[in-house]
Amino acid sequence: MKDIILSLEAVHFIYEDGTEALKGIDLQVRRGERLAIMGANGSGKSTLFLTLNGIRKPTSGRVLFNGAPVDYSRKGLLELRKKVGIVFQDPDNQLFSASVMQEISFGAMNLGMPEDEVRARVERVMEELDITSFKEKPTHFLSGGQKKRVSIADILVMDPEIIILDEPAAALDPKHARIIDRIIDELGRRGITVILSTHDVDRALIWADRVVLLDDGTVIGDGTPDEIFNDEEALTRTNLEKPAVLKIFETLCEAGVLKRDLPVPHTTGELERYIREVNK
Amino acid sequence: MMIIDKLAYSSKLRYKNPMLKTVFATGMLLICVAAHMLAVSAVVLVFMAALTIRFSTVSFSHYTKLMGIPFGFLILSTIAIVLNISDTPAGFFSAAVGGKYLVADGTSLLEGARLVMTALASVSCLYFLTLTTPVIDILAVLRSLRCPKIIVELMLLIYRYIFIVLDMASAIKTSQNCRLGNKDFMTELRSMGQMLTVLLIRSMNRSSCLFDAMESRCYNGELQVLEEHRPAKTGETILVIGSLSVMLAITVSLKLLGGVL
């Protein structure tokens, strides 16, 4: 059992205009896990993310980081945000500088590191995310995929323990979405805890260790992708479709083509292999 | 605005030390304004225009078009200086207006020409700077000159968000025009008003999102960022100091010779 890095206990959040965005969320994030948060637009995902690094303070309930309640003093919040980074959905709301290098250096500079160290980190992150080739371009001439990479570099440069990505593939073409997917896979391999929100059930089935379904500010499902994507009722409530691979697998089992005792496939590749092996 | 920005990024002098470029451009500017002589201004104008065209991607015709922007304003304001009001016809040009005369003579004409030339030459110095130096580098120069932080930070944010607001505006305008929002003058006015309202609301939203994003990266009230170092080569420094000295020498000798121009 992995240890708990972040947990929410009965967290409520009400905006100033009276909208209740979070209605008693209980959630535990384990160190190093890949967690997908899914839910319709307006279900509270973004608000939830902002409570995870202390930008929004719960109206009631507690947030615990490494077992200790979050300290909402200036200093406590800086400590928390150093460890919990958020990559926002729209890079234009995150990138404030026209210079790629200045943009990426911002977070590291705020950590109070010496300039040489910041420079080395910025260079390293730019290298890792393939940003070096366009680092001299101003941010307003970058493509959507390039902006997204810069916005991930923004956070990675701070070396956080948890990275939260709000719909990282939104508005990207398939090619750039795949590039971002690979970057996210790499984050997981490095042992960074990754939380992401997505509407892509097929991707969540392949990638996630755990899926949490959010509906109207409450958690209505929390489990492995297999458990969640077989919960028809919860899927309907969150306007999600069952992943295509699971649907087809089910149909093939019902039609007697495949045996029910096969491990549930997660990728089209696995399913194709089953089908090819049927007549052998 | 967008075009000038693009040109600055594609200039051959883009990666040269921004401080050197600033010193060069403002040095030339100061010499030509202080001298206030037709000949000096003409030399500066030709020199700076030649440099700008040589080292940026602007063609000669494009450059003259850029120069045309301030030229219109200049002519209008110079007319007021060239023309005087007099009771009797004088000089080589007189026009009766009511009981008085609008007159122009040699002196006023020369003064007018001097003004136009000096202004154009100054603009050519500034064009040299803006067409070879991206805004980010100019901000770095301002920072090293100890310009107040708040001003530099505001410039940085405004510069970045000009492009986003322009994008939003053009998207809204396109979507309005798709629905005949420009079918006649009154409709167009109304569409414009609605667009401005939406832009304001969206900008407010964006600013609060941006603030959240900056807070997430431990923003502490100051935009601390890494500066790019583009050290000046000795040769370049000598070139800049050399050309400024030559220009200064020309100016001083012309002054001493007592040239009327």
Q: Residues B209-261: pLDDT tens digits?
A: 999 999 999 998 888 888 888 888 899 999 999 999 999 998 888 888 876 66
Q: How many residues does the structure list for chain B?
A: 261
Q: Could you give the CA distance from residue A88 to residue B58 in angstroms, rounded to a whole number?
A: 38
CA of residue A126 relative to chain centroid, distance:
21
ipTM for the complex?
Answer: 0.86
Q: Give residues 124 to 143 of A whose Cβ lies within 8 Å of B.
A: 137-141
B157–A93 C-beta distance less than 8 A = no
Distance from CA of A55 to the nearest CA of B (A): 7
Helix (H) or strand (E) holding B26: helix B18-35
Q: Which of B6, B159, B228 lies closest to A101 in CB terms?
A: B228
Q: Which of B136, B212, B219 lies closest to A110 in CB terms?
A: B219
Packing angle, helices B149-178 and B185-216, rounded to 10:
140
Q: Is B234 on the interface with A (CB under 8 A)?
A: no
CA of residue A65 relative to chain centroid, distance:
18
pLDDT of A1 strictly over 60? no
pLDDT for B19 equals 93
pLDDT in tens, A17-58: 999 999 999 999 999 999 999 998 889 999 999 999 999 999
Confidence category of residue B87, pLDDT binned at 50, 70, 90? confident
Eight-state DSSP code of residue A140 = G
CB B150 within 8 A of CB A78: no
pLDDT for A126 equals 95
- CA distances for B121 relative to A25, A96, B9, B251, angstroms: 67, 35, 23, 14
Q: Is A280 on the interface with B (CB under 8 A)?
A: no
CB A259 within 8 A of CB A241: no
**In percent, how much of chain B has pLDDT > 90?**
51
pLDDT average, residue stretch B65-89? 84
Residues ≥6 apart with Cβ < 8 Å to A204: A36, A38, A198, A211, A225, A243
Q: Is B169 on the interface with A (CB under 8 A)?
A: no
pLDDT of A85 strictly over 60? yes
Confidence category of residue B77, pLDDT binned at 50, 70, 90? confident
Q: Which of A98, A111, A154 lies closest to B135 in CB terms?
A: A98
Helices (H), chain A: 45-52, 74-83, 100-110, 115-128, 144-156, 174-189, 201-207, 225-228, 232-237, 244-254, 268-277
Nearest to A45 by CA among A25, A16, A19, A65: A25
Residue with tokens 């600013």: B207
Q: Which of A85, A97, A122 lies closest to B160 in CB terms?
A: A97
CB atoms within 10 A of CB A217: 22
pLDDT of B125 strictly over 60? yes
Give the global pTM.
0.85
CB A144 within 8 A of CB A90: no
Query: In chain B, which residues have their Cβ closer than 8 Å to the Cβ of A85?
Result: 216-217
